[in-house]
Structure 1
Amino acid sequence: MSARDAPRPRVHVVHAHSEADSFVTAMKNVIVAEFRDTGHQVTVSDLHAKNFNPVASPRDFLERSDASRLVYPLEQRHGYATGTLAADIHEEIEPVLAADLLVFTFPVYWFGAPAILKGWFDRVLLSGVCYGGKRVYGRGGLAGKRAFSAFSLGAKEGMFGADGIHGELVTGMMRHLFQGTMGYVGLDVVQPFGGYNVPYIAQDKREGLLDELRAVVRNLDDRPVLAVPDLDDFSEKLLPLHENPAVS
């Protein structure tokens, strides 16, 4: 089989915006179209359209390993192993495990993901499947897969960066999301795409941003990947080796 005939990576898009005419939805549509036009298998989970419940609760488990006390991560492990997770969680985790690339499209709220997407991470990135113990970062359960995000926000791009009033966005304000969630479960986090100042710019500027996004998607393999901790730099107790080389 030639490289041209090889199967294209499978892409799963998790979309978190309620409005069909929003810029975030336009970004999602561009991403889906670009990947499908190049022969990728693409699935989409539109969280608002399916009225996804973002609240983790005991109802997420049809049976419990410990009925007296809820330890949510442990029940996630039990629920997946026994096939007793709530149906909506099972529906979401299956395409995640099947995908080679996960794409997240969302508006930035308070320098983070909106509640519906945050709840998706809470309920769907299962302990024991996606992470657990020393199965984090490069050894996480989703290692070998990539993640790419396209987000919108109202602030101007110049407000971020080393000299910006807010500091760095992706590796600063939103590090909890890109490293602490996506990178933590083993995903290679491709540098995300941001649509800045979107509510305040003219339509032609928005179209220009969508053209930039098309180019990014077409050349995604050339886009840098965010750095995450390397577990080889840490002891068996996950302490820094350079601080105490004798620790193992």
Structure 2
Amino acid sequence: MHALWVWAHPHTSSLNGHLREAGITALRENGWSVDEVDLYREGFDPLLVETGEEDVRRHQERLREADLVVMQFPLWWYSVPAVLKGWIDRVFESGFAYDVPDPETGKPLKYGKGGLVGKRALTIVTAGDRADSLGPRGISGHIEDVLWPLLHGTFWYTGMDPLRPHLITETGDVDTDVLAQLETDLAVRLKGVTDEPRIEYLPMTDDHYDHTIKLHPSVAPGKEDLSAHRSDG
């Protein structure tokens, strides 16, 4: 089992830094090999100007080899840090992660299929706000809705199995005891990462969507929020 751990935080001594170290250690203790992409320390250029550049090819090879992709980042303005967005923009290229043709129909594979099918994808997210603010009725929206562009629009779109986000909140109130518990919780989560169920997004099939890629009226009738696109919603 091989994991690619993509980390986007400017400070190694931060809470994120402690969790990264604990998480990678936990995976290795459970038999995983781990390749770490430290976007800040590697000086990754996030600006998409040209496709097919040499540094992108190297990152695509690292991604191709992974059974598990972990993206760890602080939640900044309800999204990922710019350097991580840039990594996705540049590395998830057409023909590699998406716009991969179905060998039978020639149509591009997407939403449950694609160039990264068979990989599991886990986000580890830190936020300064309280847990309930990112819950089902929280003012910020449920974390799975906040991260919809990443979970559904990137992971699921390219064929990966998205897992529910591992969210750490109230990061300004973490003392030594809380940190120890957070590290333990993360280790437990990672120990079962191959067995936990994915988020059950609907595949883009004629059974679910019409030719405009809108849900049929018979699918999740009456629902107009994002949960309509989940079989477990």
Report the TM-score range of the alignment, normalised by the length of the smaller protein: 0.7 to 0.9
The question of 1:112 aligning with 2:79 is answered: yes
Give me the CA root mean square deviation.
1.9
The question of 1:134 aligning with 2:134 is answered: no
Residues 228 and 50 (structure 1), Cα distance of their counterparts in 2 relative to 1, 3 Å cut: same
The question of 1:148 aligning with 2:119 is answered: no
Unaligned runs of 5+ in 1: 1-8, 61-75, 77-84
Unaligned runs of 5+ in 2: 100-106, 219-233
- Return the alpha-carbon distance in structure 1 between the equivalents of residues 151 and 10 of structure 2: 22
Task: Say which of 37, 40, 43 aligns to 2:35.
Answer: 43
Task: Say which of 17, 36, 41 aligns to 1:25.
Answer: 17
- Return the alpha-carbon distance in structure 2 between the equivalents of residues 55 and 125 of structure 1: 13
Which digits, 9 at most, give the CA deviation of each residue in 1:19-58, with x for residues without a partner?
Answer: 111111222111211111122121111111110011111x
The structural deviation recorded for 1:162 is 2.4
Residues 239 and 192 (structure 1), Cα distance of their counterparts in 2 relative to 1, 3 Å cut: closer
Give secondary structure in 2 for the equivalent of 1:103. Answer: strand
- Return the alpha-carbon distance in structure 2 between the equivalents of residues 19 and 167 of structure 1: 27
Residue 122 of structure 1 corresponds to 89
Asked if the contact 2:152–2:201 (Cα under 8 Å) also holds between the matched residues in 1, the reply is yes
- Return the alpha-carbon distance in structure 2 between the equivalents of residues 96 and 186 of structure 1: 13
Q: What amino acid sits opposite 2:191 in the alignment? A: R
Instruction: Specify which structure has the higher proportion of helix.
Output: 1
Residue 226 of structure 2 corresponds to none
The question of 1:52 aligning with 2:25 is answered: no
Give secondary structure in 2 for the equivalent of 1:137. Answer: coil
Give secondary structure in 2 for the equivalent of 1:14. Answer: strand
- In the comparison of the two structures, how many residue pairs are matched? 210
TM-score w.r.t. structure 2 length? 0.83
Residue 180 of structure 1 corresponds to 153
Residues 215 and 242 (structure 1), Cα distance of their counterparts in 2 relative to 1, 3 Å cut: same
Asked if the contact 1:140–1:186 (Cα under 8 Å) also holds between the matched residues in 2, the reply is yes
- Return the alpha-carbon distance in structure 1 between the equivalents of residues 174 and 19 of structure 2: 16
Larger Rg: 1
The structural deviation recorded for 1:239 is 3.4
The question of 1:16 aligning with 2:14 is answered: no
Residue 81 of structure 1 corresponds to none
- Return the alpha-carbon distance in structure 1 between the equivalents of residues 150 and 180 of structure 2: 27
Asked if the contact 2:4–2:35 (Cα under 8 Å) also holds between the matched residues in 1, the reply is yes
Which digits, 9 at most, give the CA deviation of each residue in 1:145-196, with x for residues without a partner?
Answer: 11111111101101122222222111x1221111111111111011121110
Asked if the contact 1:137–1:143 (Cα under 8 Å) also holds between the matched residues in 2, the reply is no
Between stretches 131-140 and 191-200, larger displacement belongs to 131-140
Give secondary structure in 1 for the equivalent of 2:194. Answer: helix
Q: What amino acid sits opposite 1:177 in the alignment? A: L
Asked if the contact 1:55–1:119 (Cα under 8 Å) also holds between the matched residues in 2, the reply is yes
The structural deviation recorded for 1:235 is 6.2
TM-score w.r.t. structure 1 length? 0.78
- Return the alpha-carbon distance in structure 1 between the equivalents of residues 173 and 209 of structure 2: 49
Q: What amino acid sits opposite 1:106 in the alignment? A: F
Residue 162 of structure 2 corresponds to 189
Runs of 4+ in 1 over 3 A off after TM superposition: 234-244
The question of 1:204 aligning with 2:177 is answered: yes
- Return the alpha-carbon distance in structure 2 between the equivalents of residues 195 and 241 of structure 1: 33
